[in-house]
Amino acid sequence: MPLPPAVRVSTHGHVRTIRLDRPARMNSLDLGAKTQLLAALQAAADASDVRAVVLTGSGRAFCVGQDLEEAQTAEGPDAMADAVREHYSPLVRTLLTMPKPAIAAVNGVAAGAGMALALACDFRIAAASATFTTAFAGIGLSCDTGISWTLPRVAGRATALDLLLRPRPIGATEALDLGLLHQVTADEDLDAEVRHSAAALAAGPTRAFAAIKAAVTSASASTLDAALEYEAAQIAHTGASEDYRRGLNAFLARQKPSFTGH
């Protein structure tokens, strides 16, 4: 008998929701879950009618990272490195580079690669009961899923090293204070707040959002001159868009713009 899907996907308007759905395993990532999640993220990134993406989990966890029972069967360190290259790195790369905003709706525990996936999203909204931990060093491992890249950029090098070298659960309020989150809501309000935020982003100038994401990512590893030139190129790209014409005309008419994403 085939196993049930580990990821559920739904679309409402221009918002695509991708939900890890292994609640009995705290949405840990076995091979099936990693494969399905990557496929779902890539499909959302490529879909022209999807203008915002929500990543969340079922039950009491967002995602607790690698399924450690599966990890016990790994065939040595080289196989572990291959798994990072084949699964975890593409997951975070897809989130960081998709040409539309991604929101992490952190409904519960986010640990290890799960925390890293949340950090790879553009916005992070958490339930008040959510907790976070880097987890990696707690089992004698280095870090993966891009957290060495995202965490220092989100919270600074000192905080990143503290959280990575001394892994411990931190609550949503502390995570907000550290800059890891954009918003904390009551547990019962999380879904409604995420729907509202995602709908607002999906109604925005999608091409401009994509260009801004690309510019910020490019600038993090470039010289000032290179960043300025990249900005000029992206201005030309977005200046040719329908949304720019709509936005400019609405501004001059003192009206609210209606963007199409093109």
Taking only the tens place, the pLDDT of each residue in 165-220 is: 999 999 999 999 999 999 999 999 999 999 999 999 999 999 999 999 999 999 98
1: pLDDT strictly greater than 50? no
Look up residue 193 and give its two tokens.
């707040």
Helix (H) or strand (E) holding 77: helix 77-83
**What Rg, from alpha-carbon coordinates, does the chain have?**
19
Sheet bearing 61-63, strands edge to edge: 61-63, 109-111, 131-133, 170-171
72: pLDDT strictly greater than 80? no
Check residue 104 and give left, alpha or beta (phi > 0: left; psi -120 to 50: alpha): beta
CB within 8 Å of 179: residues ≥ 6 apart:
154, 155, 156, 159
- Number of Cβ atoms within 10 Å of the Cβ of 256: 7
Q: Quick one: average pLDDT of 134-157? A: 96
Cα(121)–Cα(189) distance, integer angstroms = 20
Confidence of residue 78 (pLDDT cuts 50, 70, 90): confident
How far is CA 25 from its chain centroid? Answer: 21
Cα(112)–Cα(115) distance, integer angstroms = 5
Cα(62)–Cα(33) distance, integer angstroms = 13
Confidence of residue 236 (pLDDT cuts 50, 70, 90): very high
Taking only the tens place, the pLDDT of each residue in 104-141 is: 999 999 999 999 999 999 999 999 999 999 999 999 99
